[in-house]
Structure 1
Amino acid sequence: MAHALKIGIAGLGTVGASLARILNGRHNKLADICGRPIEIVAVSARDPDKDRGVDLSGATFYADPVALAREADIDVFVELIGGEGDPALSAVREALSRGCHAVTANKALLARHGVELAGIAEEKGVLLNFEAAVAGGIPVIKAMRESLTGNSITRVFGILNGTCNYILTEMERCGLSFEDCLKEAQRLGYAEADPTFDVEGNDTAHKLALLTSLAFGTRIAPDDIYLEGISNITIEDIRAAADLGFRIKLLGVAQRTDSGIEQRVHPTMVPKDSVIAQVDGVTNAVAIDADVLGELMMSGPGAGGDATASAVMGDIADIAKARPGHQHGPVLGRPAVHLETYERARMRSHEGGYFIRLTVEDRTGVFASIAGHMSDNDISLESIVQRPGENGANGDRKTVILVTHATMEASVRKAVEAISADGYLVGKPQVIRIERPES
């Protein structure tokens, strides 16, 4: 049997501790599968004395993860610290620069510095694996980087944040507000004390940026993503969507158009009978549209210590199975130096149409005014629903729900602004895109 693969783990939180338990508890099985033992020889964490439920007494402790990456006698550096900057950035950079393989679950780091780090890895002839950075335990990175090599991908989209999917699922299931469901998600550990990064769509955007690069061979472009979170979704939106045959999901969508690549993250209405609509709770799902394969849908646990550790373990196993002299494939599907400059697509008509919810004063001429503003902006309406007296204590308000045919978002926003200027709108209007996946 080949010599042991020596691992250094930086970060012993939920994921790091779970990974250590897998490596220690399944040592013999992993050795058989990988053809060599895998040993943890160095670790780094904030608290060296914390009980993590796993024996790490045989590993050298480093207070500084950068020192571990630079000095430890390791073959693979596993970064589970988090954050787009230091110490994670410097530690991964050090490890790759000295010729160590690296494995990371850090989507924020890769979204900002992935092209640079990929370049270092390819120059040094080592691997930079990051399956756990997108969709937790779903093997979407390997599928896109290896299995779909013969395909031309036209679109990739999915539910990439378990916190948001849990909240939207519970709002529909229990009839509770966004705020109440968020509190429950925090109590259960699905949401952080400060949930902004998740609920405002930033986490999904980082993951989408990586999928976009893999799908279309472009440089990672996290700042070129239209971004909208779920904090403005109300129970009224959830109910209206159900009445119209839709469910609301936070989707990340990237697709190739004739003018460039479109990337967007936003709440989306999807038909109840579509596959993506059936993905509930903290589960993630990724769909890939390809010319040869057609549509591939993968779903599974998107977060949590065990799911993420499982993906990290898979990356380590791939490195353990590689033999000396083996030519490693490019980190992002294409060599970093050959990645194309990201070209943001021009605004175009959204084929799925839009859902617009307006709460208005119940007075003569309001409905005609709304219809007029839609017509003035060349917006064709698929359906109009009025709900008399739904929101006013004395029945003096109406909820008006409009579903448009394909149209430009700028036209929708302009029409809604004109309606607001007329003075009969109560509260903020709601505008949600509609997607109609093939399955």
Structure 2
Amino acid sequence: MTTIKIALLGFGTVAQGTFNLLQDNAELIRNRTGVNVEISKIFVRNPDKYSHITLPETAQYVTDIDEVLKDDSIQMVVELMGGTTFAKDCVEGALKAKKNVVTANKDLLAESGPYLLDLASKNGVDLRFEASVLGGIPIIRTLYESLAGNRITEIIGIMNGTTNFILTKMSEEGLSYQDVLKEAQDLGYAEADPTADVEGLDAARKLAILASISFNRRIFFEDVSVEGITSIDTEDIKFGKEFGYNIKLLGIAKETSQGLSLNVYPAFIPTTHPLASVRGSYNAIYVKGNGIDDVMLYGRGAGSLPTGSSVVSDIMEVAKNISYNETGRLKPFYYDQKNIYSPGKIQSSYYLRLEVDNKTGVLAKISAKLAEQKISVLSIVQRNMDPETAVLAIVTSKCPRSYILNLIDSFNSLRSVKSVNSVIRIMEA
């Protein structure tokens, strides 16, 4: 039986999950691939940190990356360090040395994915990255293989488990954003610095990777318009329930005759939509194609074993390709025109929450401002806070984002409007 030697770069949470699955499922992997996958080297900065882990006889720690890149016996490098500088140098070096690469590094792929895929193709080797998006959910291979015969028109996803956990707890238990964030940090769902998650940056990187594959464009992180969840208030969630909506942080990519729209933002979803029922730290991705219509994949979007599962799946696929001398078959193809559609022109319905004077005639003034912007009201709820102040929750008809921004300026010009507290998009069912 052929033996494929691999090297792990990094030995953190995901790498250890990968290591454990390769050991625990070794017989299964051999039976399903027809090859023996052997961990030869593990690159780490400080081997003493991992002295409690027993390595197989075939494996050893190394602290010099050249011991991996210049070792001709190693045919596959598994990059699990993260980051976009040293990790990029390692991946580039491996590909140029004609070593196959598996990675879970979404930051790197969102910045340099198309370039690295071209480099892999040029050198006749594989670059696989299933674990870079949505952990254990097999969306990358689904797009490349199962849905390859479709023209993908839209991707909608809950792509970050931390934000979904936070919004779920806020919705179900009425807790504040700050209280739930602290709980998420205590449970290990959120980092000490949660910026990448709660500001939507993590989801934007994943969306860039998926959109690049789906639409055959060289799409990068900076192409995605991003809004986070830090301004979401429990009052908005309560009003949303009255209108029949759940709140989610969504990544949405669409291709229309007007161009590509690539956005991450919090949105109200009708409770009848399948994504509305995705709770806690789970992720889900909803894909529309001209052949299959709608497909949804659901599962754990992060974690040692779920993400390690996707890494091992890629390792197995590459190992089979090596054994059959079929690496480098994936030839990336990109259209020249990208044509990103301005977020200000995208039409959707909106939810707005205002604090206004609790006086006769205020609603008429609000209605007049809506009419000036050619925006009609689909629903409205008023709550009296006290004798002086009322809260208006408004659901508008579909209109461009630019209209809503002009409307907010108009509201702020009214003395009877004390504040515009929230503006949230509404996704169609």
**TM-score, normalised by the number of residues in structure 2:** 0.95
What is the CA distance between 1:222 and its match in structure 2? 1.7
What is the CA distance between 1:350 and its match in structure 2? 4.6
What is the CA distance between 1:35 and its match in structure 2? 0.4
Query: Partners of 2:344 and 2:411 in 1: how far apart?
Result: 23
Q: Which residue of 2 aligns with 1:166?
A: 165
Residues 222/34 of structure 1: CA separation in 2 closer, same or farther (3 Å cut): same
Q: Could you list the per-position Cα deviations for residues 57-85 of structure 1 after superposition, in whole angstroms to 9, with x for gaps in the alignment?
A: 642322244653344731111111111x2
What is the CA distance between 1:371 and its match in structure 2? 1.3
Q: What fraction of aligned residue pairs are identical, expressed as a percent?
A: 37
Q: Which residue of 1 aligns with 2:393?
A: 401
Q: Which residue of 2 aligns with 1:265?
A: 264
Larger displacement relative to structure 2 (62-71 or 284-293): 62-71
Q: Which residue of 2 aligns with 1:147?
A: 146
SS state at 1:295 partner: strand
What is the CA distance between 1:173 and its match in structure 2? 1.1
Q: Which residue of 2 aligns with 1:50?
A: 49
SS state at 1:102 partner: strand
Query: Partners of 1:398 and 1:350 in 2: how far apart?
Result: 31
Q: Which residue of 2 aligns with 1:213?
A: 212
Q: Could you list the per-position Cα deviations for residues 373-403 of structure 1 after superposition, in whole angstroms to 9, with x for gaps in the alignment?
A: 11111111111111112xxxx4422110111
Contact 1:89 1:109 in 2 (8 A): yes
Q: Which residue of 2 aligns with 1:412?
A: 404
Q: Does 1:366 align with 2:362?
A: yes
Contact 1:20 1:54 in 2 (8 A): no
SS state at 1:355 partner: strand
Q: Which amino acid aligns with 2:21?
A: I
SS state at 2:356 partner: strand
> Which aligned pairs between 1:171-182 and structure 2 lie closer than 5 A?
171-182=170-181
Query: Partners of 1:52 and 1:161 in 2: how far apart?
Result: 33
Query: Partners of 1:413 and 1:24 in 2: how far apart?
Result: 56
Q: Does 1:386 align with 2:382?
A: yes
SS state at 1:384 partner: strand
Q: Which residue of 2 aligns with 1:354?
A: 350
> Which aligned pairs between 1:293-372 and structure 2 lie closer than 5 A?
293-322=292-321, 323-326=323-326, 328-330=328-330, 335-336=332-333, 338-346=334-342, 350-372=346-368
Q: Does 1:436 align with 2:428?
A: yes
Residues 402/329 of structure 1: CA separation in 2 closer, same or farther (3 Å cut): farther
Query: Partners of 1:126 and 1:120 in 2: how far apart?
Result: 9
Q: Which amino acid aligns with 2:402?
A: A
Contact 1:351 1:405 in 2 (8 A): no
SS state at 1:252 partner: strand
SS state at 1:429 partner: strand
Residues 140/160 of structure 1: CA separation in 2 closer, same or farther (3 Å cut): same
Q: Which residue of 2 aligns with 1:222?
A: 221
Q: Which residue of 2 aligns with 1:202?
A: 201
Q: Could you list the per-position Cα deviations for residues 329-381 of structure 1 after superposition, in whole angstroms to 9, with x for gaps in the alignment?
A: 43xxx525x44342112457655411111122323432222211111111111
Larger displacement relative to structure 2 (372-381 or 349-358): 349-358
SS state at 1:344 partner: coil
What is the CA distance between 1:52 and its match in structure 2? 7.1
SS state at 1:326 partner: coil
What is the CA distance between 1:271 and its match in structure 2? 0.7
Q: Does 1:375 align with 2:367?
A: no
Q: Could you list the per-position Cα deviations for residues 37-58 of structure 1 after superposition, in whole angstroms to 9, with x for gaps in the alignment?
A: 1111011123311247642264
SS state at 1:37 partner: strand
Query: Partners of 1:346 and 1:413 in 2: how far apart?
Result: 14
C-alpha RMSD over aligned residues:
1.7
Residues 209/105 of structure 1: CA separation in 2 closer, same or farther (3 Å cut): same
**TM-score, normalised by the number of residues in structure 1:** 0.93
Query: Partners of 1:78 and 1:46 in 2: how far apart?
Result: 16
Q: Could you list the per-position Cα deviations for residues 112-162 of structure 1 after superposition, in whole angstroms to 9, with x for gaps in the alignment?
A: 011111111000111100000011101000000111111111101110000
SS state at 2:266 partner: strand
Query: Partners of 2:286 and 2:360 in 1: how far apart?
Result: 47
Q: Does 1:62 align with 2:58?
A: no
Gaps of 5+ in 1: none
Q: Could you list the per-position Cα deviations for residues 205-244 of structure 1 after superposition, in whole angstroms to 9, with x for gaps in the alignment?
A: 0000011111110002321211100000000011111111
SS state at 1:122 partner: helix
Contact 1:66 1:91 in 2 (8 A): no
Query: Partners of 1:169 and 1:354 in 2: how far apart?
Result: 21
What is the CA distance between 1:420 and its match in structure 2? 1.4
Q: Which residue of 2 aligns with 1:291?
A: 290
What is the number of equivalent residue pairs in this alignment? 427
Larger displacement relative to structure 2 (220-229 or 127-136): 220-229
Gaps of 5+ in 2: none
Residues 52/387 of structure 1: CA separation in 2 closer, same or farther (3 Å cut): farther
Residues 431/186 of structure 1: CA separation in 2 closer, same or farther (3 Å cut): same
Residues 66/420 of structure 1: CA separation in 2 closer, same or farther (3 Å cut): farther
Query: Partners of 2:346 and 2:379 in 1: how far apart?
Result: 17
